[in-house]
Amino acid sequence: MIRAVVFDLDGTLIDSAPDIWNAANRVLKEARLPSVTFEQSRSFIGRGARVFVERMELAVTGANDPARTAHLHARFLHFYERAHEDTRIYPHVPEVLDSLREQGLRLGLCTNKPFAPTQAVLRHLGWAETFEAVVGGDTLAVAKPDPAPLMEVLRRMDLALPEIAYIGDSETDAETASRAGARFGLYTEGYRKSAPEALFHHFRFSDYRALPQHLMAPA
């Protein structure tokens, strides 16, 4: 029986791609490097801030230089933590989260977004107390698709895999769930690059109002 739902954040609960793009181009402008398009920036999302910066740097310079990457990463985190103005919550998410909590389900968060920007955006959205456990992309030494961050959320909530459903939007989330052996719900309106049919999932949905029904269905 499902006792808790663990969510990814970017591309699953919120669309933060515009703010991530703005932060990226502020960093590039500061470093006197060419800017990236929104489509490029969106394609870099999914494996955490460090990988995002490496992909961005490679796209605009043709190479990754360790010292330059470290500098760009530090400056990206500076802007990223303050980038909330254009982030939007996906339709019907707030009422569904409230409904799940009213039904007695516990909520957790497992994201590759670094912990500080995660906490900042949760405060900005009024969700500082919504999730019982929050694990960011830099909380552990490894990030998704390694299953360790998801398992850390479960450890903090004192739950076992059969007691949770994990909800995400991307190849990274699908691989995380597959490697962990977790029940996985794919939100199809996020940042994935592959067809939904190609990704590991137990159910998929495009409208959050359908999520409670999926969670009640037999695994």
Residues marked active site are found at: 8
CA angle, 179 as apex, 197 and 163 as ends, to 5°? 95
Q: What are phi and psi of 108, to 5 degrees?
A: -130, 165
Q: Which long-range contacts (CB under 8 A, 24 or more apart) does 152-155 make?
A: 152/110, 153/6, 153/108, 153/109, 153/110, 154/6, 154/108
- Say whether the peptide bond before residue 94 is cis (omega within 30 degrees of 0): no
DSSP symbols for 105-132: -EEEEE-SS-HHHHHHHHHHHT-TTT-S
Q: Reduce the DSSP state of residue 137 to 3 states and report it.
A: coil
Q: Rounded CA gap, 205 and 28, in Å?
A: 36
Residue 37: how many other CB atoms lie within 10 Å: 11
